[in-house]
Structure 1
Amino acid sequence: MDQVSPEIVNAAQGLWSQIRLFFEHMLLPWRLYQLAIIGALILLGWAGKQLLSPRLTGWLRRQEGWPKWRLRLGILIDQRLHLIVFMVFAWLTVAVMREITWPSRSQLIQLAALVATAWVLIGFLVRIIANRFLRRIVSWAAWIWVTLYFLDLLDPVSAFLDSMAISFGEFRLSALTVIKALAITGLMIAAARTLSQMISGRLSRNADISPTMQVLTAKLLQVVLFTVAIVVGLKAVGFDLTGLAVFSGAVGVGLGFGLQKVVSNLVSGVIILLDKSVKPGDVISIGDTFGWIEELGARYVSVVTRDGKEYLIPNEDLVTGQVVNWSHTNNFVRLDIHFGTSYNDDPHEVSRVAIKAAMTVKRVLPHRTPVCWVTGFGDNSVDYVLRFWITDAEGGLTNVRGQVFLALWDAFKASGISIPFPQREVRVLNDTIAVSQGREVPPRPEFVSGD
């Protein structure tokens, strides 16, 4: 078995002596009653949570219309109610004891109140970290740090953790360095995320910036802030990033071959944002998918259809494929409806009635008057096309076509205009009955087309 490093042994001995000295001070007679008071306050905090938590939960459920951040704050208070009750009564106890006795007689209770207050504040502050795993790491690191700080054990514990290290040439990595790196990087990432959300919110409310530039600026800002957060966090704890740059370059080349599609979608996303071919709110058709763009992501575009389905279309498909953007330069969309009427009806009257009927539909633009033209003389009808304009393609196309068809139906019935349909007439050519092989043979029919 390898011999333990003398550095680790010395650090462990120093830590043990500090812990032993701390507990020796705790066993002094005038501090034992303070420990008893702290134990009673812990029980009081637990009882207070059992009493107040149901009432607080019921009150929160009755608050309709509250913003989400208030409800979340109420839930956080409920989760830490035992610690909050302990903290409040601990500070009250310290205030009372300082009035009736020496300050040193409540020193230990004050220490417990300080630790409890720090724990409560940390529990609220770490909520800005979105990642749950990272939030837990930062929370536990911060709780341990403040506890050791108030107990005056921070220096010996730091020395012990720093002694537990491995070396690669001139590079030395200790347990203390790893913990600092995780804590500082986590806080930097949380700060970058909060700042990014604040700036993105301001950009979204700025009407002078186009939606595509808002998304592009927000994405670039996120990349820059998160990169700076990671670099600053690692540099703050003494990491040498020179070797990391060489290593990341080699890894990047390997990932480039394996993640070609992912990289292609990322680059296509940047191209889409730069050329402004599509933007949030545009109505597009790609293949059999028709809907409006809900969000431009780094890897895909979210398209929501009229039936509530959300399609995640890779950015590469929008760059390399054919896309119909119904609202690229403007919102005007022209729709065509084909129909036919009888040869007995006057085409001039049919066109007039059809145009008037189309204009009764609310979504049809009145200032762009619909037109109706004869497109051909069919076997059974005179064929027409009715063209009209709308500006709200996101509201659907099938429904507005259906409304115009219904308006045509009602108008044609009121004007006596008929819509023909193909008919077939059957004539019997031989009305005698032939007998073949002792059986009756039915007459042979002949089909004749007609209106």
Structure 2
Amino acid sequence: MFEPGSSDLASWLAALTQTGAVMELGALALCGVAAWGLAALMRRALRANQANSILFGQRLVDGVLFPLLWLCLAYVAQSLLLGRVPLAVFKIALPVLIALLVIRLGVKVMQAAFNETPLVRLLERSISWVAWLAMVLWVSGLLPLLLEQLDQITWTMGGAKMSVRTLIEGALTAGAVLIFTLWISAAIETRLLRSATGGELSLRKAASNATRALLMFVGLLMALSAVGIDLTALSVLGGAIGVGVGFGLQKLAANYVSGFVILAERSMRIGDNVRVDNFEGIVMQINARYTVIRSMAGRESIVPNELLITTRVENLSLADSQVWLNTMVSVGYDSDVDQVMHLLKQAALNHERVLREPAPSVNLAAFGADGLEFKVGFWIADPQNGSDNLKSLINLDILKSLRENKIEIPYPQRVVHLPVVVANPGA
């Protein structure tokens, strides 16, 4: 922009004090308002209200589309004003808009591709610092001089001659390629997982994971090529990785393959109620290496995917979401059996969560030591809302109903035999 020690800086300062600078500010502000309006219209037309949208964000200023439109309109305004007024404001505004666009793009892509972690926040700050530093060096005119000096620091790596400038440019190119790859994979994942449920959600999740892995692999190859690394040298590394997978990483590879198998065959889906190794809960996430199962008590179990493939898993929601529950009741032997069975069945039907079809069942399970033992069985369709709470409510209704009808709930009875002590007749 400005060469140090030249008259460019003085001419820029002189242009900044003229009335043309006011025209530039007005044109720049008009471009900002127009960009805001266009972004708002596009958001309303596309109905993009997701907070994690890369283009729009939660607010328009958070997304990538607003600074992109502002930058494009600013370039058009600069072309229209070029030759009519001495440009001063646009020489600063355009680099600032470019830096803002780079920061917004990097930050939103990182937030959409990964969860909020300290590493992601560190990368966001790094992108911001690099973008603003490059903008300052560009505006001040020091960037060409700095690149020229960095180009003088060279060394030889194998048959290639490297410099600090080449390394920095390659790293920036690699970062741009990876950000673009993550953007595409995040957009594909959002489109695939939108309004998907059950088995369809699992299948789309598998396609999303496979697409992201493929794009990341292609982006990594392009990034390595941009840095200047010969990809043919990776054949030895690939052989070493293959040997490592065959020996030390076979468990890790098995978990990744098992994850894709689970998602592809849909034997277990997000939202299913499963029991694995005496741990029962709802499948919350099916990742490439592990599956997260959340119990009704709020505990979460991280289960390796290989375990879900090689061991017995009870999926209570595979065919449907209906689950059978039961509770035991004991009454006295002199009770009216027909009345008891009617009261027990009615106690179960008093609750809306109990299904009417199939209807609750009451069976005389056993002749107990203390009384007649009945089993009350019933079906529910929402196991995610808990089962113990429903059992408790039904037991309370049973207790109330039996007491109102004066039906005995027997206490345990035990017969104690005491030895008879015969007094000594000679005493």
**Does the TM-score normalized on the shorter chain lie above 0.5?**
yes
1:183 matched to 2:182? The reply is no
Q: CA separation of 1:157/1:248 partners in 2, compared to 1, >3 Å: closer, same or farther?
A: farther
**TM-fit CA distance, 1:36:** 10
Show the counterpart of 2:159: 170
The alignment partner of 2:229 has SS state of coil
Q: CA separation of 1:233/1:146 partners in 2, compared to 1, >3 Å: closer, same or farther?
A: farther
One-letter identity of the residue aligned with 1:362: E
CA contact 1:300–1:313 (8 Å) conserved in 2:
yes
1:348 matched to 2:338? The reply is yes
Show the counterpart of 1:112: 92
CA RMSD of aligned residues (A): 3.9
How do 1:219-298 residues align onto structure 2 when only pairs under 5 Å count? 219-254=209-244, 257-298=247-288
CA contact 1:137–1:183 (8 Å) conserved in 2:
no
- The equivalent position to 1:357 in structure 2, one of 347, 350, 355, is 347
Show the counterpart of 2:184: 195
**TM-fit CA distance, 1:182:** 2.0
Which piece of structure 1 moves more, 412-421 or 257-266?
257-266
Which piece of structure 1 moves more, 344-353 or 391-400?
344-353
The alignment partner of 1:363 has SS state of coil
The alignment partner of 2:4 has SS state of helix
Show the counterpart of 1:389: 379
CA contact 1:141–1:179 (8 Å) conserved in 2:
no
How do 1:300-315 residues align onto structure 2 when only pairs under 5 Å count? 300-315=290-305
Q: CA separation of 1:228/1:428 partners in 2, compared to 1, >3 Å: closer, same or farther?
A: closer
Q: CA separation of 1:432/1:237 partners in 2, compared to 1, >3 Å: closer, same or farther?
A: closer
Q: Deviations over 1:215-270 (max 9, x none)?
A: 10111011011112222233345432110232243245336533343323222212
1:205 matched to 2:194? The reply is yes
One-letter identity of the residue aligned with 2:382: D
The alignment partner of 1:225 has SS state of helix
**TM-fit CA distance, 1:365:** 0.5
The whole-number CA distance in structure 1 between the counterparts of 2:368 and 2:133 is: 87
1:398 matched to 2:376? The reply is no
1:380 matched to 2:370? The reply is yes
Show the counterpart of 2:101: 121
Show the counterpart of 1:321: 311
1:416 matched to 2:396? The reply is no
The whole-number CA distance in structure 1 between the counterparts of 2:9 and 2:377 is: 94
Show the counterpart of 1:299: 289
The whole-number CA distance in structure 2 between the counterparts of 1:301 and 1:267 is: 13
**TM-fit CA distance, 1:140:** 4.5
CA contact 1:138–1:187 (8 Å) conserved in 2:
no
The whole-number CA distance in structure 2 between the counterparts of 1:282 and 1:269 is: 16
One-letter identity of the residue aligned with 1:423: Q
One-letter identity of the residue aligned with 2:350: T
CA contact 2:291–2:303 (8 Å) conserved in 1:
yes
Q: Deviations over 1:264-286 (max 9, x none)?
A: 32222122212322110001122
Q: CA separation of 1:397/1:33 partners in 2, compared to 1, >3 Å: closer, same or farther?
A: same
**TM-fit CA distance, 1:390:** 1.0
Greater Cα radius of gyration, structure 1 or 2: 1
One-letter identity of the residue aligned with 1:317: L
Q: Deviations over 1:101-160 (max 9, x none)?
A: x955x65x6533443343333333332242344445544544455555556665554444
The alignment partner of 1:246 has SS state of helix
How do 1:140-151 residues align onto structure 2 when only pairs under 5 Å count? 140-146=129-135
Which piece of structure 1 moves more, 306-315 or 153-162?
153-162
For normalisation by structure 2, the TM-score amounts to 0.73
**TM-fit CA distance, 1:34:** 7.2
The whole-number CA distance in structure 2 between the counterparts of 1:32 and 1:334 is: 81
The alignment partner of 1:364 has SS state of coil
Which piece of structure 1 moves more, 162-171 or 218-227?
162-171
Long gaps (5+) in structure 2: 19-48, 64-73, 111-119
Q: CA separation of 1:33/1:213 partners in 2, compared to 1, >3 Å: closer, same or farther?
A: same
The whole-number CA distance in structure 2 between the counterparts of 1:245 and 1:73 is: 47
CA contact 2:331–2:371 (8 Å) conserved in 1:
yes
CA contact 1:293–1:304 (8 Å) conserved in 2:
yes
The whole-number CA distance in structure 1 between the counterparts of 2:194 and 2:5 is: 58
Q: Deviations over 1:386-439 (max 9, x none)?
A: 2211111111121122122122212222333221121346788879999xxxxx
The whole-number CA distance in structure 1 between the counterparts of 2:290 and 2:99 is: 41
Q: CA separation of 1:72/1:355 partners in 2, compared to 1, >3 Å: closer, same or farther?
A: closer
The whole-number CA distance in structure 2 between the counterparts of 1:148 and 1:429 is: 105
For normalisation by structure 1, the TM-score amounts to 0.69
Show the counterpart of 2:36: none
**TM-fit CA distance, 1:67:** 7.4
How do 1:325-340 residues align onto structure 2 when only pairs under 5 Å count? 325-340=315-330
The whole-number CA distance in structure 2 between the counterparts of 1:177 and 1:252 is: 32
The whole-number CA distance in structure 1 between the counterparts of 2:196 and 2:286 is: 18
CA contact 2:103–2:131 (8 Å) conserved in 1:
no
The whole-number CA distance in structure 1 between the counterparts of 2:296 and 2:162 is: 56
The alignment partner of 1:417 has SS state of coil
